[in-house]
């Protein structure tokens, strides 16, 4: 810290607390060139991540492409139910089956 800044700091520390708070608020409220640098850095980071996502999508066609259109379908992994979830599934099958065969079959098709 330069000498002038140290003198300002020393004088600021001698101010009553409320005035020190006001001083800090004023200093933080002023626009700063570093804000523009931070904004530019974030914009560059967003561009980089977008580019990487598009590149990944082209290497893995099952993912959505960079423009949001669907890629090729990907075979789903085998579904394994937690024992409690399996019990709920059986209860739901029974419930749907008691109401409508069509709804029962639709439920099964959705889960599979």
Shared-domain flag, residues 80 and 54: no
Helix, strand, coil percentages (3-state) for the chain, rounded to 5, are: 70, 0, 30
pLDDT value of position 7:
92
pLDDT value of position 47:
81
Shared-domain flag, residues 25 and 40: no
Shared-domain flag, residues 70 and 84: no
**CA–CA distance, 22 with 87 (Å, rounded to integer):** 62
Residue position matching structure tokens 């523009």: 36
pLDDT in tens for each of the 112 residues of the chain?
A: 789 889 998 998 999 988 888 888 888 776 666 667 877 887 888 888 878 777 766 555 555 545 555 555 556 677 777 888 888 888 888 888 888 778 778 878 887 7
Is 11 within 8 Å of 22 (Cβ atoms)?
no
Q: Which two tokens stand for residue 87?
A: 């019990």
Shared-domain flag, residues 83 and 62: no
What is the domain count for the chain? 3
pLDDT value of position 62:
52
Shared-domain flag, residues 22 and 48: no
Shared-domain flag, residues 49 and 70: yes
Domain span at 18: 1-30
pLDDT value of position 14:
93
Q: What is this structure's pTM? A: 0.31
């Amino acid at each position: 810290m330069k000498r002038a800044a140290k003198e300002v700091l020393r004088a600021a520390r001698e101010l009553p607390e409320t005035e020190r708070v006001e001083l800090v608020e004023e200093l933080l409220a002023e626009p700063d060139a570093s804000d523009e640098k931070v904004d530019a850095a974030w914009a560059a980071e967003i561009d980089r991540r977008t580019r990487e996502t598009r590149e990944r999508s082209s290497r893995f066609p099952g993912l959505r492409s960079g423009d949001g259109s669907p890629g090729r379908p990907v075979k789903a992994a085998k579904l394994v139910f937690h024992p409690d979830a399996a019990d709920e599934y059986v209860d739901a099958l029974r419930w749907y089956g008691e109401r409508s065969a069509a709804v029962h079959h639709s439920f099964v098709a959705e889960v599979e």
